[in-house]
Amino acid sequence: MIPLPSSLRQTGQFLRQLLITYWLGSTLVISTALTLYDLWEHQKQTVREGQQITHLVASSLRIPMTSKQRQQLLESYTQTNRTQRFDRVNVTLVLDRSGKVAYSSRPAWPALPISDRLFRQMGQDDPDFSAVVQCFQRQDTSCMELRSEDWNLHLSGISIVRPVWMPPTDLGLPRQPFLVVVNFDAGMLISDVLQDVPWLVLISAMIAAVLAAGLWCVISARMLPQLVEASQTDALTQLMHRTPFMDLAMEVLAEAEERQGDLVFAILDIDHFKRINDTYGHGCGDAALASVGSLLLTVTRPEDLVCRFGGEEFAMLISAPREAGAKALERLRLQLEMNRLLYNGHNIPLTVSIGAAATAQCGYNVDFLYNSADKALYTAKRRGRNRLEWNDGELVSRLSLPSEMSR
């Protein structure tokens, strides 16, 4: 995982909080979806149970049986289901064409008319059951053809309505119609679903955790590197900012000290930068900074460090002894002097003053190297600018320099 710099710690905390929120939100969404799916599955099971009872009634009508035997069969089937497994069937009614109960799972209910107050109360919370009651109250001829819409979830009450027929005993006689109404206790269905909710939430939390982990991997692999680069890179010059440069410089200097390696610390300052801004505008100043940054990126090696130190000032840490570093810096100065800046039709000369210090003379302390190079930079400006000056360890405060050396 890419470590976040100090400038991105708050961003990292925000991302973690965002992922926790994402995990909680995903858990809620997934658990809701799974609960609805579980409710749908229980509804399908309810429909299957209603269809099984309807098939039982239809089968009993096809074989020679007395009305008493059919009534006993329906009662026995209901009792068997209740003892063998948890069943949600509240009552089963088989209605004839007059709207009376021909057979029922309740022994006392046969011969009751569907318009009885008892059935009207049952139908108050059950749209399908209420439709059967109202149809027979209207004495509609199509009541025996009613069929419930099984896939509508009515949490107030559930009824499976199916038409069945008793086949004629003699050819030519019409079939005798019956209407099977299987009423289920919706509260039992909801109770079944609620018992599954804790497990569904646990499963949802695990799925959401996997999704959040995957999202964090994507962020770590793609987003964080871009954030780190953006926090460390100056948008105008595409060079490092001062803070990451100094952190890396400390690490490089510590490693070089262990192996007694030679390094050069240099500070570059664009000459008369304020005059460029005042004469051609700040847009030209930005173009000058970008031009210098582009050249520094071109001429430096991968093992060298370079940054925009602030304003028109740049810093470099070159892996080379003083002699080689001097040649590289002088070559850089000449390249900048020869490459003129073209801006809005103006051919503007750019030069830099450079102050440098080598570890062989000034040691491996980054602050001491910086102060030494900074003093050399002011010496270069005092001696006419557009030149390279070295400091062998003698420090002079900027405040002690003549006022005419202000940039």
pLDDT digits (tens, 9 = 90+) for 283-323: 999 999 999 998 888 888 888 999 998 889 999 999 999 99
Percentage of residues in the chain having pLDDT higher than 90: 42
145 and 290 part of one domain = no
Domain count, the chain: 2
Domain hosting residue 263, numbered range:
235-405
Radius of gyration for the chain, computed over Cα atoms and rounded to the nearest angstrom: 44
Which token pair is 267? 């500070």
251 and 331 part of one domain = yes
175 and 246 part of one domain = no
48 and 181 part of one domain = yes
Contacts 24+ apart (CB under 8 A), 346-350: 346/280, 346/284, 348/276, 348/280, 348/284, 348/288, 350/270, 350/271, 350/288, 350/291, 350/292
Q: Is residue 321 part of a domain?
A: yes
Q: Is residue 286 part of a domain?
A: yes
Q: Is residue 81 part of a domain?
A: yes
In this structure, what DSSP letter does residue 170 have? S
Residue 404's pLDDT is what?
A: 42
Which token pair is 251? 């690490």
Q: Tell me the residue type at 241.
A: H
pLDDT tens, position by position, 320-372: 999 999 999 999 999 988 888 888 888 888 999 999 999 999 999 999 999 99
273 and 188 part of one domain = no
Write the burial class of residue 316 (CB in 10 Å: 0-12 exposed, 13-18 middle, 19+ buried): buried
18 and 89 part of one domain = yes
189 and 241 part of one domain = no
Read off the CATH number of the domain in which 332 is found. Answer: 3.30.70.270
Q: Is residue 225 part of a domain?
A: no
> Could you say which of 139, 162, 193 is where a domain stops?
193
Residue 234's pLDDT is what?
A: 78
Residue 238's pLDDT is what?
A: 81
Residue 354's pLDDT is what?
A: 95
> Could you say which of 143, 175, 193 is where a domain stops?
193
On the question of pLDDT at 377 being above 90, the answer is: yes
258 and 179 part of one domain = no
166 and 305 part of one domain = no
